[in-house]
Amino acid sequence: MAIKTTYVLQKRASTEEEYPRPQFKRTEWYDLNGEWQFEFDDEDRGEPEKLFNQKKDLMQTIQVPYAYQSKKSGVEVDENHEVVWYKREFHWEKNTDKNLLLHFEAVDYHTKVWVNGEFIGEHEGGHTPFSFSITNAICNGENTIVVRAEDQNSVEQPVGKQSWKGDNFLCWYSRTTGIWQSVWLEEVPLQYIEDVKMTPRVEEGRLSIEASLPRQKKKAYFEANVYFKGEWIDTVGVWVKENQTSVELTANVESDQADFRVFYWTPDTPNLYDVMFQLFVDQEIVDTVESYFGMRSIEVQEGRILLNRDTFYQKLILDQGYYNDSLMTGNYEQMESDLLKVKEMGFNGVRRHQTIADRRYLALCDELGLVVWAEMPSSFKFSSTSMFRMMNETREMVQKHYNHPSVIIYTLMNESWGVNEIYHREDQQAFVNALYYQTKAQDPSRLVVGNDGWEHTLTDILTIHDYNSDAESLRNSYEKMDFVNGSPSKTSRKQNYAKGYAYRGEPIMISEYGGIAYGNEQSDVEWGYGNRPQTEEEVLERLEALTKVIMENDAIQGFCYTQLTDVEQEVNGLLDHHHDYKFDPKKIKKILLSRQSNGFIFE
């Protein structure tokens, strides 16, 4: 039986390590991570029996935000339970001049929330953040939050790399059910800044700002103050009328410093501007939000990818975001350590594969200088239900990533997962194109890959997956440009483009290659791609040979190596299950340095 505990919540300083939304920072918040009451509901009786309104405790406890399948959760049950319940009691002193927001960074998959027995709202989607106002449900003194999470073992849900079978198989891993990213409270004024979209206009040296505001009860004034390394750059503002819900304005980012006007964001120079947003009512500041942005553009031109109008050669590593004792949930120190290792090995970006990263991870990429390919987790069955869910969660994914300068590309589908007959079926082609156009309409400032790996329809980049482990054979595959309208490799039955589509001059990238398996146990359960090397030296020799073949081909604009870490049964990481180096990072960096991001280094 769970031990009943009532928490007196303490205001927290907005530190980088813990604050869940570092690009939209208020000074104080309340952390709800930690011990919650927990219970499985295999017969799905919780709602009809009004478990959300009962005073009795739940049967177990769990450490939030870890999924019950993980070791860190304290539950660690490797079984499928589709419905789970959470309960958290806490003491609160209500302020009638404030709104109280309850934030969930990610809950897999369908969430319902009650506060003090009152239904607050629900959300569908396992990887994106959502919030509720609980102001009217909260009371002075003891309060209770109850959460019901339902995660059906369904291939019509976007599940990414979570296994939908009884056990793990191939490159699909342990499931994640329920709360798996931070839960927190935030007290805001009655009139407050709900969200801000920041769009850099590199050609103009300006930043476009669109602020979302709950319906205004009084006339207000919205202001943005821009700084660079402590130097004031510009202040712009606009009046907000009563009942108005959004405003737009443009800030200047030019500086008189040095010999250039705009400080660009690149992996080598990850320059970030600070910006403070403020809302005034009756000439008094009622809300202040601290943020930042980067001035960078990304575009394609004549078969090249341009970052800030300069040719940009991408050297990415595939990061699946799994941890051996916490599955898809990493803490700040783990994320920072991983990304510092990525930089140390000489990569200039990450392809975040089949899971959506924590916002602190994205902020670290902004600060450290790593470009990010954001990817929507796949469903695995084509149906009206799966299309509806993919469209909705993709939209939320784009909204989450919009302000991060490190994010340059959205990948919407991977290897035709969920659209297995896209080569010849027009409805599946139309669906991927619908995702492409939706994303372009929502965020025209970034590049979009419709179906990564093969069988492309609409796409800004021709991305190819090729796990050929023989360097000479790999070289021969890309000697002549007619490969663009053929197969991604000589051993593949797939085609680079779906029927009715063809190469139109897009930049070409090898977005998955390598996958060299090398583990300690050498067991039959462990696997990777190609013949398995027996020594570290053999792994590095193959890595060097394959990578140089790609880098020496001027038609190819970059690559993504598979992968950063070992994940459960898959042991093709450059880091092991504990995220420690398997190989000397200096040796890997030396291999990658034979080509710079904007050209060659000739030794």
Does the pLDDT value for residue 218 go beyond 70? yes
pLDDT bucket at 523, cuts 50 / 70 / 90 = low
**pLDDT for position 601:** 44
Q: What's the average model confidence in pLDDT over 69-86?
A: 96
Does the pLDDT value for residue 365 go beyond 80? yes
**pLDDT for position 1:** 36
pLDDT tens for each residue of 413-461? 999 999 999 999 999 999 999 999 999 999 999 999 999 999 999 999 9
Q: List the end-to-end C-alpha distance of the chain, in Å, as a whole number.
A: 67
pLDDT mean across residues, the chain: 93
CATH number of the CATH domain containing 48:
2.60.120.260
Cβ proximity of 110 and 150 under 8 Å: yes
Contacts of 94 (CB under 8 A, 6+ apart): 138, 139, 140
- Give the range among 6-15, 126-135, 263-272, 325-334 with minimum mean pLDDT: 6-15
Distance CA 356, CA 401 (A): 10
CATH number of the CATH domain containing 226:
2.60.40.10
Q: How many domains does the chain have?
A: 3
Does the pLDDT value for residue 11 go beyond 70? no
SS3 412: strand
**pLDDT for position 109:** 96
Are residue 214 and residue 144 in the same domain, yes or no? no
CATH number of the CATH domain containing 393:
3.20.20.80
Q: What is the amino acid identity at position 28? A: E
**pLDDT for position 555:** 96
- Would you say residue 112 lies in a domain? yes
Positive or negative, the CA dihedral 16, 20, 21, 27 is: negative
**pLDDT for position 8:** 52
- Give the range among 190-199, 497-506, 527-536 with minimum mean pLDDT: 527-536
SS3 119: strand
- Would you say residue 405 lies in a domain? yes
Would strands 371-375 and 407-414 be described as parallel, antiparallel, or unpaired? Answer: parallel
- Would you say residue 232 lies in a domain? yes
Are residue 284 and residue 389 in the same domain, yes or no? no
How big is the chain by its Cα radius of gyration, in Å?
25
Does the pLDDT value for residue 261 go beyond 80? no
**What H or E segment, with its residue span, contains residue 288?**
strand 284-293
Residue 51 DSSP code: G
How many beta carbons lie within 10 A of that of residue 10, not counting itself? 8
Cβ proximity of 516 and 572 under 8 Å: yes
How many beta carbons lie within 10 A of that of residue 113, not counting itself? 24
Helix, strand and coil percent figures for the chain, each rounded to 5: 15, 35, 45
- Would you say residue 392 lies in a domain? yes
Q: What's the average model confidence in pLDDT over 82-97?
A: 93
Question: What percentage of the chain reaches a pLDDT higher than 70?
Answer: 94
Residue showing tokens 């690009």: 23
- Would you say residue 1 lies in a domain? no
SS3 314: strand
Distance CA 348, CA 370 (A): 5
Does the pLDDT value for residue 92 go beyond 70? yes
Q: What's the average model confidence in pLDDT over 532-559?
A: 96
Cβ burial of 145 (10 Å; 0-12, 13-18, 19+) is buried
Are residue 180 and residue 208 in the same domain, yes or no? no
- Give the range among 79-93, 204-218, 285-299, 477-491 with minimum mean pLDDT: 477-491
Cβ burial of 258 (10 Å; 0-12, 13-18, 19+) is exposed
- Of 276, 293, 310, the position where a domain reaches its end is 293
- Of 265, 293, 321, the position where a domain reaches its end is 293
Are residue 553 and residue 431 in the same domain, yes or no? yes
**pLDDT for position 10:** 58
**Domain with 242 in it:** 195-293
Cβ proximity of 215 and 99 under 8 Å: no
Does the pLDDT value for residue 528 go beyond 90? no
List the alpha helices (DSSP H) in 423-467. Answer: 426-442
